[in-house]
Amino acid sequence: MTVLSDPPRAHATPARTSVADRAPRRPISAERIAAGLTLLALLVLGILAVDEVGISIPAMVQSWGNAENFMARVGGLSFPEPADLAWLIALTVGLVLVGTLLAAALSVPIAYLAASNTTPGNGWRAAARFVGVLTRALPDVVLAMAFVLMFSLGTLPGILAIGIHSIGMISKMFADAIEQIDEGPRLAIRAAGGSKMQEFASGILPQVLPSWVATVLHRNDINLRGSVVLGYVGVAGLGLEMSYAFKSLNYGKGLGIALVIFVLCVVMEIVSSLVRGAMLGQQRQTRSWIDRIIHPRLRGATGAATTERPEWAASPQTAVRRPWTAERMRNTTGIVTAVLVVIGSVVVSQINWMDFFTFWAKLPEVAAKFWPPSFGNYEASAMIAAMRDTVAIALAATVLTLLPSLILGSLAASNVAPGAGARGIARFLLVGIRGIPELILAIVLVVITGLGAQAGVIALAIGGIGLLGKLIADSLEEVDRGPERALRAVGATRLQTYASATVPQGMQALIGHSFYMLDTNIRAATILGIVGGGGVGYYLLNASQGSRYETVTAIVLMILVTVLVVEGLAMWMRKVFR
């Protein structure tokens, strides 16, 4: 105490400069500044793009009349016969599921090679990553177009298109999960003399399985929404029926099928979140009231620590037979159901297995049609302008998506939401928005606003809120809660805590997700062009319908380069803002 009462005048000589001068300068990183400027430039370009597209609310209100006229002409929704409808639903769900599972199966070895802790060498790793990026960049519509030429019509082109295109995302997320495992159990199996394969099966797989299943379910939802557009290039299912209906100007039926697809997507989203919840429920027990209603709390085995030995555990001999506990019943039921669903999907898809033998013969012929790439009778400058339009649509949509999804996503995060009710509502809204296939949104908007970029931008922006909002909510929930508690303890308000503890921790993820959004939007913008949303997609559809496949290749290459540039930018940003 005496030390404290003695003022430290001896140290503070008047000559001493102030703290502000002595404090070290904030280090300036050229790379960080460059990355910041790039972000800013993208943002400005996005805003300019929004301006260019000319979204005006008054114009939309005015053209609401169009919609009323249109609706009057539709004269009410109509649906296919119930039996037909049931069959179409089963077919669509079946082919999407088989395609997603095909992608999952192909992704396992790719992820193993791509993950830094399992890859046999850097060469393998680079190759596996490249396969991932390439398959992600090839739009599934284009793959479907090519496969429709090689296979007889039916589900196989769709399954293969989904199967190959989904490898990109699934293998990346599988690899991320492998990289996040606890290495200990794997080391223990190595120490016991296990081989590499045994290490994988017993040490890695059980750890990544919940995350892998979640990834596959998530991708399955995306693919179901995407299956609509596959119908436009001849893949069987609800999408094909819808495209027929619209082409024959039977709007009532077209919109009816669109409604069915929407409901199907929402139902699928709920089912997959239930399955995810059931799998995660064994690990985590903090859930919102919605989750609790949906699936009651699982009793942990530690809670029911019985002092008495159960009968089966009398001796090792009697314990060889595993007892049928409630947990085992539930797990077995789950597994049996999953297997039945998969078998059912394969049966429903009516895969023409003979195609696998005949398509090799057609392969060189089809490949020759697609090569060499050429713009044909389109002007190169017109194509580049169209590509620029597509990028502009994607940028504008991404910029428009950012703010609403940040708000909605934050409200949906349990550590940010002011209450469980607000969180439940936000999550529900996100699911609802995510359920709408962008294509259907675009078709409706084209009806309201007329052909052009405006419909595309709005469709993508709305659809994006569902995806980006969910990703933001999940990343915000994953941040370390410690700093938040610390700030609360300091007396910070909820908003201050959010700004100073939650967001800074989630920043890298936010930037990463925004670029993922841009990347998704560029591909989606292409697809929307197919239904009149503007941009390069229109030419893509024209070229494929006119059987000018070398033009298709040229356009795809253009898209590929653009997507790869965005991918590179995203990687750089993630590296700089870590």
Cα angle vertex 386, ends 383, 389, to 5°? 155
Say whether residue 174 binds another protein (CB under 8 A): no
Closest separation between CB of residue 118 and another protein, Å? 14
Q: Of residues 79-118, which lie at the interface with another protein (CB under 8 A)?
A: none
How many CA within 13 A on the CB side of residue 537? Answer: 29
* Closer CB to another protein, 63 or 207, in the complex: 207
Q: Which CB, 17 or 302, lies closer to another protein? A: 302
Q: Does 17 bind another protein (CB under 8 A)?
A: no
Which of 40, 293, 301, 363 binds another protein (CB under 8 A)? It is 301
- The answer to the question of residue 500 lying near another protein (CB under 8 A) is no
Q: Which is nearer to another protein, 195 or 493 (CB)?
A: 195
Q: Which residues pair with 235 in a beta bridge?
A: 154
297 binds another protein (CB under 8 A): no
What is the rounded distance in angstroms from the CA atom of residue 521 to the CA atom of residue 457?
9
Nearer to another protein by C-beta: 299 or 485?
299
> Per rule CB under 8 A, is residue 310 in the interface with another protein?
yes
CB of 188 to another protein, least distance (A): 4
Q: Which is nearer to another protein, 198 or 358 (CB)?
A: 198
CB of 283 to another protein, least distance (A): 8
Stretch that binds another protein, among 10-18, 158-166, 177-185, 288-296 (CB under 8 A): 177-185
Cis peptide before 372 (omega within 30 of 0): yes
Sole window of 198-206, 228-236, 415-423, 510-518 interacting with another protein (rule: CB under 8 A): 198-206
Q: Under rule CB under 8 A, how many of the chain's residues touch another protein?
A: 39
User: Which of 18, 322, 326, 381 contacts another protein by CB under 8 A?
Assistant: 322
Grouping H, G, I as helix, E, B as strand and the rest as coil, residue 352 is coil
Give the other-Cβ count within 10 Å of 78's Cβ. Answer: 15
Beta carbons of 514 and 487 less than 8 angstroms apart: no
- Which among 178, 146, 183 is positioned nearest to 161, based on CA atoms? 146
Considering only residues 444 to 463 of the shown chain, the ones binding another protein according to CB under 8 A are none
> Is 9 an interacting residue with respect to another protein (CB under 8 A)?
no
SS3 154: strand
Binding of residue 328 to another protein (CB under 8 A): yes
| CA count, 13 A, side-chain hemisphere, 376 | 18
The CA distance from 282 to 68, in Å, is 51
- DSSP output for 53-69: HT--HHHHHHTHHHHHH
Selected from 41, 192, 384, 499, the binder of another protein by CB under 8 A is 192
Helices assigned H by DSSP within 350-452: 355-370, 380-412, 420-435, 438-449
193 binds another protein (CB under 8 A): yes
Interaction mask 207-246, another protein, x per CB under 8 A: x-xx------------------------------------
Rounded to whole angstroms, the Cα distance separating 373 from 173 reads 32
Residue 188 touching another protein (CB under 8 A):
yes
Which residues have a Cβ under 8 Å from the Cβ of 178 and sit 6 or more positions away? Answer: 111, 112, 115, 117, 118, 204, 208
Characterize 295-319 residue by residue with b for buried, 16 or more Cβ atoms within 10 angstroms of its Cβ, and e for exposed: eeeeeeeeeeeeeeeeeeeeeeeee
Q: What is the nearest approach in angstroms of another protein to the Cβ of residue 334?
A: 14
Pick from 9, 22, 26, 309: which binds another protein (CB under 8 A)?
309
Residue 515 binds another protein (CB under 8 A): no
CB of 331 to another protein, least distance (A): 11
Q: CB of residue 208 vs another protein: minimum separation in angstroms?
A: 10
Concatenated DSSP letters for 501-548?
Answer: IIHHHHHHHHHHHHHHHHHHHHHHHHHHHHTT--SHHHHHHHHHHTT-
The residue among 54 and 310 lying less far from another protein, judged by its C-beta, is: 310
Q: How far is residue 47's CA from residue 368's CA, in Å, rounded to a whole number?
A: 42
Q: Which parts of this chain interact with another protein (CB under 8 A)?
A: 182, 184-185, 187-195, 197-198, 200-203, 205-207, 209-210, 282, 300-302, 309-310, 313, 315-317, 319-320, 322-323, 325, 328
